Amino acid sequence: GPSWLQPPGTAATQSPRKVPRRPEPGVCGPAHWGYVLGGRDRGPDEYEKRYSGAFPPQLRAQMRDLARGMFVFGYDNYMAHAFPQDELNPIHCRGRGPDRGDPSNLNINDVLGNYSLTLVDALDTLAVMGNSSEFQKAVKLVINTVSFDKDSTVQVFEATIRVLGSLLSAHRIITDSKQPFGDMTIKDYDNELLYMAHDLAVRLLPAFENTKTGIPYPRVNLKTGVPPDTNNETCTAGAGSLLVEFGILSRLLGDSTFEWVARRAVKALWNLRSNDTGLLGNVVNIQTGHWVGKQSGLGAGLDSFYEYLLKSYILFGEKEDLEMFNAAYQSIQNYLRRGREACNEGEGDPPLYVNVNMFSGQLMNTWIDSLQAFFPGLQVLIGDVEDAICLHAFYYAIWKRYGALPERYNWQLQAPDVLFYPLRPELVESTYLLYQATKNPFYLHVGMDILQSLEKYTKVKCGYATLHHVIDKSTEDRMESFFLSETCKYLYLLFDEDNPVHKSGTRYMFTTEGHIVSVDEHLRELPWKEFFSEEGGQDQGGKSVHRPKPHELKVINSSSNCNRVPDERRYSLPLKSIYMRQIDQMVGLI
């Protein structure tokens, strides 16, 4: 089996890995993925021909229009058949709201709050695509018809990233004096979206009360607060990735409450990390602080926790956020990363990030999940582009095999463990960010491939449907709101070379739901600094907690922190044929 089964240090890998490193031509080691996935030997010329040549401008425009058409088809059908309900059932052309008949149906009820979720979540995609008339119409509809005074019990995290984040993003677009996307102003706009965001956040606040650790309850009822029979267990990402939206809201309103509770949650989780490994688990009890789920990985349960440590720093400039991120990144390199030290050189299997026990660092299982595919995008933001290239290629290899990403893929069995694909954006997100960092046309080919398989396997009568089974390609009657807010947006941006998001002087960052927020000095002003003094290096029992030394990786400066990577700071080594060969070995099926 691959050396990924071995603990770090016993395989061909060094721990900790030194990052980032540059490849030297001609030293590819044996690639396990190559034979796992059926790779064939090909001469370098073929790679040059296939990927390194320019992606013709007409083809790029065609793909941009295809991505736009995909969004429009999904959006128009939602508006025609589902609005004001939360989601579109694209096969039967109907709307879907919360499952009132079965409160335990969390897959639905955590997300659908009876607040026109898909419309709200799609607002800034309309702006990014330059559709000012529909953006203005949609904003007015939201203002006039959406209310949060609903007897809906929703997940705090989902309501925050999908609804609160979108309202704040749209508010900023409307009030931006530069209007880079065309005229997105609203006549007589009186900060209504900001007030709606405030109203929603106030309804979420009960989740942060009566918790002994400061870690919030996972769910609240928007009318009545935390339900009496509520669960005391939450996943780390759910409780610890609220700071971007809550911080923006606080800073726009000049009210520290929201940022304070979100930051307290992050710190409480951080203080519960393992003293030995520096890792966090995936599920914690909010009253006792005990880890219920001890699995540490980059996917479900933890993904956006890491993402928001870095993005909070980018947005608010608080050093402690960067320090936490750097320490977390180092622990990830030490305990989760398996395989050879460098992506593109040396002996041993290519690198992979596995799931381990947070206390021992021992491997817990042999699957990775599709949510983890966001991680190369995060690595681009910190400049670890080479490692990002490798991890992205692994996920693309899986996509090539199934025309989608199975929710879980077992790398030991070389088969999916969980077979559905709900139109998730993570691989497209990383593809877009890697393209911005390298400008290598390989990523346009990847995007085209993804677009074409979405068209082929998921397009149905009234929209795009969840793949129930990535092998037999059967579908389910559900189109999640992130398909319009993220998947379509990243695909469009990948091919829209001149989009203001990566062209204008304004710097944008994406929230974890793909909502754009501009990074500006205004958000770094902090009138309530004294409330946020360091709570010290102590755990809850007063014992001092070991803090790993912050990793050397530095966010280069505020302008390269954004998703728009300026020309002069792009990865200086474009993908050469050596990369292509490597990627081909991994992908195998190209």
Note whether 399 binds ligand DMJ by CB under 6 A.
no
Among 386-394, 422-430, 469-477, 522-530, the segment contacting ligand DMJ (CB under 6 A): 422-430
Q: Residue 307 and residue 379: Cα distance in Å, rounded?
A: 10
What's the closest the beta carbon of residue 418 comes to ligand DMJ, in angstroms?
Answer: 14
Q: Mapped to the 3 state alphabet, what secondary structure does 175-232 carry?
A: HCCCCCCCCCCCCCCCCHHHHHHHHHHHHHHHHHCCCCCCCCCCEEECCCECCCCCCC
Q: 3-state class of 299 per DSSP?
A: coil
What's the closest the beta carbon of residue 111 comes to ligand DMJ, in angstroms?
Answer: 8
Q: Residue 539 and residue 385: Cα distance in Å, rounded?
A: 35
- Which of 351, 376, 425, 441 is in the footprint of ligand DMJ by CB under 6 A? 425
512 annotated as a binding-site residue: yes
Note whether 282 binds ligand DMJ by CB under 6 A.
no
Is 303 catalytic? The answer is: yes
What's the closest the beta carbon of residue 312 comes to ligand DMJ, in angstroms?
Answer: 14
Q: Are 420 and 469 contacting, i.e. CB atoms less than 8 angstroms apart?
A: yes
Among 262-270, 419-427, 452-460, 565-573, the segment contacting ligand DMJ (CB under 6 A): 419-427
Q: What are phi and psi of 293, to 5 degrees?
A: -110, 115
- Could you say which of 87, 110, 124, 158 is catalytic? 158
Is 349 catalytic? The answer is: no
What's the closest the beta carbon of residue 127 comes to ligand DMJ, in angstroms?
Answer: 19
Closer residue to ligand DMJ (CB): 51 or 396: 396
Closer residue to ligand DMJ (CB): 311 or 424: 424
- Which of 258, 421, 435, 482 is in the footprint of ligand DMJ by CB under 6 A? 482
What's the closest the beta carbon of residue 106 comes to ligand DMJ, in angstroms?
Answer: 14
- Which of 87, 369, 384, 513 is in the footprint of ligand DMJ by CB under 6 A? 513
Among 37-45, 268-276, 311-319, 424-432, the segment contacting ligand DMJ (CB under 6 A): 424-432
Question: What are the CA-CA distances from residue 542 to residues 229, 263, 271, 535, 537 (Å)?
Answer: 31, 20, 11, 11, 9
What's the closest the beta carbon of residue 512 comes to ligand DMJ, in angstroms?
Answer: 4
CA 42 to chain centre: 34
Closer residue to ligand DMJ (CB): 371 or 378: 371
Q: Residue 223 and residue 161: Cα distance in Å, rounded?
A: 19
How is 342-375 classified by DSSP, letter by letter? Answer: SSSSSSSSPPEE--EETTT--B--SEEEGGGGGH
- State the residue for tokens 């203001």: 500
- Which of 379, 430, 512, 560 is in the footprint of ligand DMJ by CB under 6 A? 512
CA 582 to chain centre: 26
Note whether 236 binds ligand DMJ by CB under 6 A.
no
Half-sphere exposure of 242 (CA within 13 A, CB side): 35
Q: Mapped to the 3 state alphabet, what secondary structure does 4-37 carry?
A: HHCCCCCCCCCCCCCCCCCCCCCCCCCCHHHHHC
Residue 551 DSSP symbol: P
Q: Are 286 and 216 contacting, i.e. CB atoms less than 8 angstroms apart?
A: yes
Note whether 166 binds ligand DMJ by CB under 6 A.
no
Note whether 369 binds ligand DMJ by CB under 6 A.
no
- Which of 304, 331, 372, 563 is in the footprint of ligand DMJ by CB under 6 A? 304
Residues that bind ligand DMJ (CB under 6 A): 161, 304, 371, 424-426, 482, 486, 512-513
- Residue ranges of the annotated binding site for Ca(2+) are 512
Catalytic residues: 158, 303, 407, 426
